[in-house]
Amino acid sequence: MQTGKNNMAFGFLIMGAFMIYGFLLIYLRDFAPGKEEWIASYSSGKHFESRLAHVHGNLFAFLNILIGYLLLHFGSQLKNTKTISWLALIGLLMPIGILAEVYFGAPPVFVLIGAITMTASVVWLGISFFKMKKAIV
């Protein structure tokens, strides 16, 4: 098993999706009918939440790519790699949950689960590197 491969694959796919979503946000800001209303709500409501999802979607996707790479490269020297990998993947629920709130009125439970699991994966990986016996080369 190549722990980390799925993190990299999903990381790139989710990053691509949120980059495309960024084009939608540009359209809404610059070209859509009623763009003035969209611009006026820059720091509140759906506009703010949409930008929050876009930024966190790309950040969490990048974190999955990085975590996946590190798990692939150092997995034999680290413990609990599958758990760290799964926590990072579940972390993608955070930005997806924000979009689900904006467009479908979903409850914020997915945002909380994603934020907690991504934070846990990052902290756990950091601790694992501190505990690693062999020096990083």
**Model pLDDT for residues 69-101, shown as the tens digit of each residue:** 999 999 999 999 999 999 999 999 999 999 999
Task: Judge whether 61 lies within some domain.
Answer: yes
Please report which confidence band the pLDDT of residue 1 belongs to, taking 50, 70 and 90 as the band edges.
Answer: low
- Mean pLDDT for the stretch of residues 33-48: 83
Contact 61, 88 (CB under 8 A): no
Task: Quote the pTM value.
Answer: 0.92
Q: Which domain holds residue 92?
A: 5-131
Distance (Å, whole) CA 46 – CA 55: 14
Task: Judge whether 136 lies within some domain.
Answer: no
Task: Judge whether 137 lies within some domain.
Answer: no
Task: Judge whether 21 lies within some domain.
Answer: yes
Task: Judge whether 80 lies within some domain.
Answer: yes
Number of domains in the chain: 1
Task: Judge whether 72 lies within some domain.
Answer: yes
- Mean pLDDT for the stretch of residues 58-68: 98
Q: What is the mean pLDDT of the chain?
A: 93
Residues sharing a CB contact under 8 Å with residue 20, sequence separation 6 or more, in sequence order: none
Percentage of the chain modeled with pLDDT above 90: 81
Task: Judge whether 58 lies within some domain.
Answer: yes
Q: Worst-scoring range by mean pLDDT, 9-13, 37-41, 102-106, 107-111?
A: 37-41
**Domain CATH for 106:** 1.20.120
Q: What is the pLDDT of residue 18?
A: 97
